[in-house]
Amino acid sequence: MDHRFGIIGGGSWATALAKILTGKKYPINWWIRNPEIIQNLQQQGNNPHYLSSVDFNTEFLSLSNDISVIIKNSDIILIAVPSAYAEKSIGSISAAEWKNKKVVSAIKGLLPDRNVLLNYYLQQQFDFPIENYFAVLGPCHAEEVAEEKLSYLTFSGVDLIMASEIASYFNTNYINTIVNQDILGVQYAAVLKNIYALGAGIAHGLDYGDNFLSVYIANAADEMAGFLKKFGVRHIVVGEHEGEDPFNHRKTPNYAASVYLGDLLVTCYSLFSRNRTFGTMIGKGYSVKAAQLELNMVAEGYFASKCIYNINQSVKAAIPIAETVFRILWENVKASAGFKRIEQALV
């Protein structure tokens, strides 16, 4: 069966996903709020604000700023808006319109007004079943997709067969896909790695060197694993695998897999990482508001730090790094003073 894909969002990650699908000659329905971007895509074949080097064949694009039209004409909906805008973007859709649809979350954050993942929001608001919900995660920067540099995407869902089917649409000579069932673990890992990457940027802005950064990231990885373990995530032990993947016959993923440790590493180190860039500005003395204006893109780690801090009041995991990043961003703790605290917590 050929699926009809809909994409919600007009930013860099949505544009990268659209490039992958249309590059394989799959037509897409694409919701973009900004009429200027729609017009430019229709007339010039590119997104003028994000990944403008990507040229689209317009015969594969059905564009609209009416989200109900995109939902109606698609059976698999990829949601690729910043978490802070997710509720505003899809909140007007009725439960009936979501019926029998598959949703693939490309959101790497928690809905900040609710401190929940997208799947919980969909379940609470629209009675959307978790069996029809999937997540697509990295490590994969949109800019490298635009340049067709080899990247890896992980598709996660409790329905492993459907997750594998969706993943098959994204396999290309520059995209390798991996499938797992850890739908909650991969999403929380994506949230946490953005916080740690923002902290890595702060360290860079404060002029810490690579020696410190390596110790910082190793401790962040350990802290993230401890938080995930509190949630009952199973694939935590490095060096141990639970047999063989039934679909691709590779070893099953553990915490060292790309979607966990790999995504943490690239987000902390890559110059494409907006969270690292945002953190660097904070470390150099920018205010949060000034850094947001300068970046002109949403750094998910900013909102995520507050969400995870709130969630951890009940989880009670030991997360001194993430907690300190939160205090720097939200409680006006000086970056230099905060990192003095982090220095004492590293092992």
- In the chain, domain spans: 5-181, 185-345
| Tens of pLDDT, residues 193-251 | 999 999 999 999 999 999 999 999 999 999 999 999 887 777 776 666 666 666 666 76
Res 259: pLDDT: 82
Q: Give the containing element (helix H, strand E) for 202.
A: helix 183-205
The sheet carrying 151-157 orders its strands as 61-64, 28-31, 5-8, 76-79, 102-105, 133-137, 151-157, 175-180
For residue 308, CA distances in Å to 42, 165, 187, 234 come to 40, 32, 12, 20
Instruction: Provide long-range contacts, Cβ within 8 A and 24+ apart, for 30-35.
Output: 30/6, 30/61, 30/62, 30/63, 30/64, 30/70, 31/6, 31/7, 31/64, 31/65, 31/66, 31/67, 31/69, 31/70, 32/63, 32/65, 33/65, 33/89, 34/10, 34/65, 35/65
> Which of helix, strand or coil describes residue 61?
strand
Do residues 215 and 346 lie in contact, with contact meaning Cβ atoms separated by under 8 Å? yes
Res 241: pLDDT: 65
Tell me the pLDDT band of 295, cut-offs 50, 70 and 90. Answer: confident
CATH number of the 5-181 domain: 3.40.50.720
Residue 271 pLDDT > 90: no
Length of the chain: 347
With 0-12 CB in 10 A as exposed, 13-18 as middle and 19+ as buried, what is 301?
A: buried
155 forms beta bridges with 136, 179
The answer for residues whose C-beta is within 8 angstroms of residue 209's C-beta and 6 or more apart is none
Mean pLDDT over 32-51 rounds to 93
Tell me the pLDDT band of 17, cut-offs 50, 70 and 90. Answer: very high
Of 46-55, 200-209, 256-265, 332-341, minimum mean pLDDT range: 256-265
Res 243: pLDDT: 66
Record the pTM. Answer: 0.91
| Tens of pLDDT, residues 114-150 | 999 999 999 999 999 999 999 999 888 899 999 999 9
Residue 76 pLDDT > 90: yes
Mean pLDDT over 300-325 rounds to 95
**Chosen CATH of 185-345 out of 3.40.190.80, 1.10.1040.10, 3.40.47.10, 1.20.120.80:** 1.10.1040.10
With 0-12 CB in 10 A as exposed, 13-18 as middle and 19+ as buried, what is 270?
A: middle
> Which of helix, strand or coil describes residue 127?
coil
Res 138: pLDDT: 87
Q: How many angstroms separate the CA atoms of 280 and 295, rounded?
A: 11
Placement of tokens 């698999």 in the chain: 76
